[in-house]
Amino acid sequence: MATTTGTKKKDFLTIGQLSTEEIHDWLKEALALKKAHKAGKDTPYLKGKVLGMIFEKSSTRTRVSFEAGMLQLGGYALFLSSKDIQLGRGETIHDTAKVLSRYVDALMIRTFGHETVEEFAKYADVPVINGLTDLHHPTQVLADLLTIYEYKGKLAGLKICYLGDGNNNMCHSLLEGAVKTDIDISVASPEGYFPDPDILAAAKNEAGQKGVKVEIGTNPEEMIQNADVVITDVWASMGQEGEAKKRLEDLKGYQVNESLCKLAKDDFLFLHCLPAHRGEEVAEGIIDGPHSIVFDEAENRLHVHKAILKKLLENY
């Protein structure tokens, strides 16, 4: 049974819930954990702790990085697909959350509807981490921010350009993460693919208070001008397979390719959360080219996840 020391539990469901100071603190922690791991000096901060990982959406990077991260921190991770637990047979989220809270010290959930992780967080007695929903992908964006910082030496004052489907979990979390860390962000999407209006309005409101630019437009050539970082994602995510043909047609003008990237800064970085569909949302010459840091980005999922786990569990 999970135990507490009296500290109120903290969940991690969106980037927007974090303060700028917290983001920088978590990134600093991730850098320290990465440095220690590279030196072969992992510390078992989470010895005896157990992470339950619920997957309604399958994943390579999310599963392996959280599982390896718990092992490196001295803990243990349990993989729980919806087919393996009673949640997939009609047990309520309330009951599942209450029961699992008696067995594990934290829960990571990768699912479709964002309301699912919100409901888990409401009823679970242990910290809940959003590993991905259709609306948000906060753990990935923390890894992106860490990777950008490693290459650029700063975050504030940079410009990110996101191209493709703006009504996308990556775009939503990037909007929140960019504004929180004083990065200008532009989004190029066709009509009908703009970001969620509530998330966009909140980002623009905070950006206005901080003097950060948030731009949304349909012209990729305009949006990518002078970008320090160029980011995209697949055009048809898991659960959107039936829309794939229409999406390929609607988004074909938003491919990240050599011609378009000439409008970004000469030393731009290319990021992609992976898996990528080469020849669709990104040209091979970009993702396999000198500006691409997608595998460093993927590696940093490991160290960011360790930082998240340590921060949520060390005082709980």
Could you list the residues known to form a binding site for L-ornithine, using ranges.
169, 233, 237-238
- Extended strands (E) in the chain: 50-55, 76-81, 106-110, 128-132, 159-163, 184-188, 214-217, 229-232, 269-272
Tell me how crowded residue 154 is: count the other CB atoms within 10 A of its CB.
Answer: 12
Return d(Cα 25, Cα 238) in angstroms, integer. 32
Residue recorded with tokens 């990085």: 65
Contact 173, 130 (CB under 8 A): no
- The residue annotated as part of the active site, out of 134, 165, 196, 233, is 233
- The residue annotated as part of the active site, out of 37, 114, 136, 137, is 137
Return d(Cα 185, Cα 179) in angstroms, integer. 8
Based on the residue annotation, tell me whether 233 is a catalytic residue of this protein: yes
- The residue annotated as part of the active site, out of 140, 228, 247, 261, is 140
Q: How large is the angle between the packed helices 169-180 and 138-152, nearest 10 degrees? A: 50
Based on the residue annotation, tell me whether 89 is a catalytic residue of this protein: no
Task: List, as residue ranges, the binding site.
Answer: 59-62, 86, 110, 137-140, 169, 233, 237-238, 273-274, 301
Return d(Cα 309, Cα 295) in angstroms, integer. 22
What is the phi-psi region of residue 182: left when phi exceeds 0, alpha when psi lies from -120 to 50, beta otherwise?
left
For residue 242, with 0-12 CB atoms within 10 Å meaning exposed, 13-18 middle and 19 or more buried, which class applies?
exposed
- The DSSP bridge partners found for residue 278 are 282
Sheet strands side by side (includes 128-132): 76-81, 50-55, 106-110, 128-132
Based on the residue annotation, tell me whether 161 is a catalytic residue of this protein: no
Based on the residue annotation, tell me whether 303 is a catalytic residue of this protein: no
Return d(Cα 101, Cα 312) in angstroms, integer. 15
Based on the residue annotation, tell me whether 137 is a catalytic residue of this protein: yes
Task: List, as residue ranges, the binding site for carbamoyl phosphate.
Answer: 59-62, 86, 110, 137-140, 273-274, 301
The full DSSP string for 236-249 is: S-TT-GGGHHHHHH
Return d(Cα 306, Cα 316) in angstroms, integer. 15
Based on the residue annotation, tell me whether 140 is a catalytic residue of this protein: yes
Contact 124, 107 (CB under 8 A): yes
- The residue annotated as part of the active site, out of 272, 301, 303, 305, is 301
Write out the catalytic residue numbers. 110, 137, 140, 233, 273, 301
